[in-house]
């Protein structure tokens, strides 16, 4: 059974560590964040999809450490570090390059290295391989190298690592074969493509596809607002077409570590090839506009009730970037809260998944207390555990940015 090293024990790396450990592999997990290492050692999970009990059951197989040297014993090393953007919206490969340099110091011949972090085509071959080769070993000859994008969807239970096909591209055929054998332990189906570049781009295509379609329906929502048409009714009607249409719902904008970030990795790379990726830029622009549109909608709803945002008590319901999870990275709720505060609104929030929003000095308030106190309840993220019937009945005024109170319509509800 293989010993698997994993660099970066976050949303991607920790579930992967658990999956390999469950198959009987020894896992060496490396992270620069010593708090994560301590949590894992104590059997305390910080990722919602990984129950703490699971970590405890597997404690003899998952060895968490801050020391790269331990990776010398691994048969394969999977890199799952963040790939964010710089403040100028350019790829920030800092964490990946740091990880590559540190790994190069302990790399062994015949090891397999796989990059899982989302990135632009060319990263594995042009950026990762040369740094790893500083070890004196040659990629594709002395060690194997491949790219295989992560497709985890936090909070989802129907499609998991096991039953979601795993795309992978190796630097050589032998690299791909080694990687396929490894992933075959935890995935039912591995989809091999001819190169790391094809695998890198396939992940970006998936995310750009979502970003563009979300932008399309969001733009429609802004138009239907002016036209006085119910966008939800339109989306629902179009969704009855059994072919050639895929449903996307409008909302307050995109969040998370992926959709607002990844497409710009490709725009940046495309500029080197004298191409402007207009769909990506346009989708980004429309989606970034949504929090402003949603705040304007809330402002109008308050106005119609004879109130101004200034001084109004506004309870934001759901602040994570998507339903069922506690991740607030790039969440549109954060932008909405800042905009409402700039206008003088007194904002509180309820989110069962997010105990505090320290950047705003806010803590999660009990739902009924937040509703009773508020002039306006603003549904930003529709967690399945929230009782939206109760919200619509109990709140004085509701602006629903997710369409979850549709149909249970009462006069106090305004839909996006
Ligand atoms: N979160 C998702 O849903 C998701 C889905 C698919 C793909 N991805 C991609 O996977 C990658 C990782 O994302 P994530 O959400 O797991 O990020 P994350 O921030 O949750 O975890 C990354 C971990 O890497 C650690 N790290 C940073 N630099 C390091 C270094 N030099 N050495 C060792 N550890 C280091 C961090 O401390 C952190 O614990 C990104 O490229 C992301 O785009 C994420």
pLDDT value at 7 more than 80: yes
pLDDT value at 1 more than 90: no
Q: What percent of the chain has pLDDT over 70?
A: 100
Residue 112, phi-psi category: left (phi > 0), alpha (psi -120 to 50), beta (remainder): beta
Query: Which stretches within 105-195 are classed as H helix?
Result: 129-132, 173-183
77 pLDDT tier (thresholds 50, 70, 90): very high
pLDDT value at 409 more than 70: no
Q: Among residues 240, 239, 220, which one has the least CA distance to residue 230?
A: 220
For the chain, the residue count is 416
**pLDDT tens per residue, range 212-253:** 999 999 999 999 999 999 999 999 999 999 999 999 999 999
- Give me the numbers of helices (H) and strands (E) for the chain, helices first please: 13, 15
Q: Using CA atoms, how far apart are residues 318 and 349, in angstroms rounded to an integer?
A: 7
Q: Using CA atoms, how far apart are residues 331 and 308, in angstroms rounded to an integer?
A: 25
Tokens of 45: 């999970």
Q: How big is the chain by its Cα radius of gyration, in Å?
A: 23
**pLDDT tens per residue, range 315-350:** 999 999 999 999 999 999 999 999 999 999 999 999
**pLDDT tens per residue, range 16-50:** 999 999 999 999 999 999 999 999 999 999 998 99
Q: Which residues contact 328 (CB under 8 A, 6 or more apart)?
A: 255, 319, 320, 321, 334, 354, 357
Which position has the token pair 């206008």?
343
- The closest-lying atom of ligand 1 relative to the alpha carbon of residue 116 is 10
Q: Which of 80, 175, 187, 258 is catalytic?
A: 258
Average pLDDT over residues 98-123: 98
Average pLDDT over residues 119-134: 98
Which position has the token pair 């839909």?
415
Average pLDDT for the chain: 96
| Nearest CA, atom 20, ligand 1 | 10
pLDDT value at 408 more than 80: no
User: What distances in angstroms separate CA 229 from CA 175, 235, 312, 403, one per listed residue?
Assistant: 54, 11, 28, 14
Cα-to-centroid distance, 82 and ligand 1 (Å): 4
Instruction: Specify the pTM.
Output: 0.94
- The closest-lying atom of ligand 1 relative to the alpha carbon of residue 47 is 20
**pLDDT tens per residue, range 172-213:** 999 999 999 999 999 999 999 999 999 999 999 999 999 999
Cα-to-centroid distance, 258 and ligand 1 (Å): 11
| Nearest CA, atom 5, ligand 1 | 152
Cα-to-centroid distance, 10 and ligand 1 (Å): 5
Cα-to-centroid distance, 152 and ligand 1 (Å): 12
25 in active site:
no
Q: What is the pLDDT of residue 374?
A: 97
Q: Which residues line ligand 1 (CB under 6 A)?
A: 7-13, 30-33, 36, 80-83, 95, 98-99, 117-118, 150, 152, 154, 257-258
Q: Which strands make up the sheet holding 62-65, listed edge to edge?
A: 62-65, 26-30, 3-7, 76-79, 112-115, 144-147, 166-170, 190-193
Q: What is the pLDDT of residue 257?
A: 84
- The closest-lying atom of ligand 1 relative to the alpha carbon of residue 8 is 24
């Amino acid at each position: 059974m293989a010993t698997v090293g994993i660099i970066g024990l976050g949303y991607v790396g920790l579930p992967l560590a658990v999956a390999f450990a469950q198959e009987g592999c020894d896992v060496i997990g490396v992270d620069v964040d010593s708090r994560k290492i301590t949590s894992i050692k104590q059997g305390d999970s910080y990722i919602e999809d990984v129950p703490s009990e699971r970590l405890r059951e597997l404690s003899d197989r998952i060895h968490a450490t801050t020391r790269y040297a331990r990776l010398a014993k691994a048969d394969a090393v999977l890199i799952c570090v963040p790939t964010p953007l710089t403040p100028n919206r350019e790829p920030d490969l800092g964490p990946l390059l740091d990880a590559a340099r540190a790994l190069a110091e302990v790399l062994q011949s015949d090891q397999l290295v796989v990059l899982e972090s989302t990135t632009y085509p060319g990263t594995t071959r042009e950026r990762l391989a040369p740094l790893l080769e500083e070890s004196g070993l040659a990629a594709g000859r002395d060690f194997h190298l491949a790219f295989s994008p992560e497709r985890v969807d936090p909070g989802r239970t129907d499609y998991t690592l096991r039953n979601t096909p795993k795309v992978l591209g190796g630097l050589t055929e032998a690299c791909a074969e080694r990687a396929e054998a490894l992933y075959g332990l935890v995935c039912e189906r591995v989809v091999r493509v001819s190169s790391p570049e094809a695998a890198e781009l396939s992940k970006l295509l998936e995310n750009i596809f979502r970003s563009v379609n979300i932008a399309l329906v969001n733009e429609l929502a802004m138009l239907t607002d002016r036209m006085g048409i119910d966008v939800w009714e339109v989306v629902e009607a179009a969704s009855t077409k059994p072919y050639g249409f895929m449903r996307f719902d409008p909302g307050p904008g995109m969040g998370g570590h992926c959709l607002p970030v990844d497409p710009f990795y490709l725009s940046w790379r495309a500029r080197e090839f004298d191409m402007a990726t207009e769909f990506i830029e346009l989708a980004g622009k429309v989606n970034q506009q949504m929090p402003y549109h949603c705040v304007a909608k809330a402002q109008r709803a308050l106005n119609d009730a004879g109130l101004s945002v200034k001084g109004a008590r506004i309870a934001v319901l759901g602040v994570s970037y998507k339903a069922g999870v506690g991740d607030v990275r790039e969440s549109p709720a954060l932008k909405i809260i800042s905009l409402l505060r700039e206008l003088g609104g007194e904002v509180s929030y309820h989110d069962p998944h997010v105990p505090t929003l320290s950047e705003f000095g806010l803590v999660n308030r009990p739902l009924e207390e937040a509703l009773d106190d508020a002039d306006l309840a603003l549904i930003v993220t529709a967690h399945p555990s929230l009782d939206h019937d109760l919200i619509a009945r109990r709140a004085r005024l509701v602006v629903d940015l997710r369409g979850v109170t549709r149909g249970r319509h009462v006069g106090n509800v305004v839909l996006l």
